Amino acid sequence: MQENAGDNVFTTMRTKYHVLSPVQKKIADFILAHSSEVILYSIGDLAAECKTSETTIMRFLRKIGFRSYQVFKVKMAQDITSGQPRSMIEDVRPHDGTGEIKAKVLMSTTQCIGDLKTILDDETLSHVVDLMVKAGRILFVGLGATGLIAADAFYEFAKLGLSAHVSTDPPIMNILAAHATGEDLMFAVSHSGRTREILNCVRLARENGVKVVAITSYGDSPLTEMADFVLLSSTNDTEYRSDAMLSRIVQMVIIDILYVSVILKLSPQSLENLKRSQNAVQRGR
């Protein structure tokens, strides 16, 4: 296992929170809430505070990418010094007033978007943008709430004059995949990465040599194993706000990053195409 020394340790704990066991979540909660004290603890001290064993602490560390407790503490101390936000956002409570609800929702959303700085790989983004510019067709697929993300992405990239297509209906998805070629690019949007219909569509596309980009919240899902490129929208859930709800916001930000990158890559032709699209919309009103 490679040490997770490059990523912010607090972001890593937040973005991997949903794959932790209940005991591991308690460990993460304690570290996030008491990080300044934990950097002074021995592994035995931390185990005692979390009412668990040293073996369980080590399992938790391996889950977030560390082999050594000492390396984990050093990295945590460095990240504290950098001023990165450390704690999980406090959950909304039944007695909270409107102002408190607003503050907590805004904070959790801001934090999840900020975590993209760590979990979105720049090199992967660049590869995906290059593929989009060169693709014969760009196919967006998604179901339910993620279908809305796929549809919005189609709308944005179609305005740039790219050959974009979208489907949120499983039979149509499969038809698109069955007739796709190695010149095409598919974006599969799925929060869980386990939706059977999306996986079937991706499987068909891969059989035809189509490159697949997964936009998903779960890095250890079947979809990420099948995809050529993965853009993670990982978030953590709270009692009153599911991680699926937050992930949709984060996925929209990912689409926006790709959109701006493609515009700059195609400029000035993209700006001309965008103007033509806007004029066409105005004429229809």
Same domain as 232, residue 129: yes
Full residue range of the structural domain in which residue 72 is found: 9-88
- pTM (global) more than 0.85: no
Same domain as 50, residue 140: no
Cα 157 to Cα 168: distance, rounded to the nearest angstrom: 17
Same domain as 124, residue 80: no
Per-residue pLDDT of the chain (285 residues; tens, 9 = 90+): 445 555 788 888 877 777 789 999 999 989 988 888 999 999 999 999 999 999 999 999 999 999 999 999 999 999 888 755 444 445 667 788 899 888 888 887 887 888 888 788 899 999 999 999 999 999 999 999 899 999 999 999 999 999 999 999 999 999 999 999 999 999 999 988 999 999 999 999 999 999 999 999 888 789 999 999 999 886 655 444 555 678 889 999 999 999 999 999 998 888 888 888 888 888 867
Assigned domain for 250 exists: yes
Give the burial string for 167-190 (b: 16+ CB within 10 Å, else e): bbebeebbebbeebeeebbbbbbb
Same domain as 274, residue 156: yes
The structural domain count of the chain equals: 2
Same domain as 219, residue 80: no
Task: Kindly tell me the sign of the dihedral angle through the C-alpha atoms of 99, 100, 101, 102.
Answer: positive
Same domain as 192, residue 275: yes
Note the pLDDT of residue 2: 46
| CATH code, domain with 181 | 3.40.50.10490
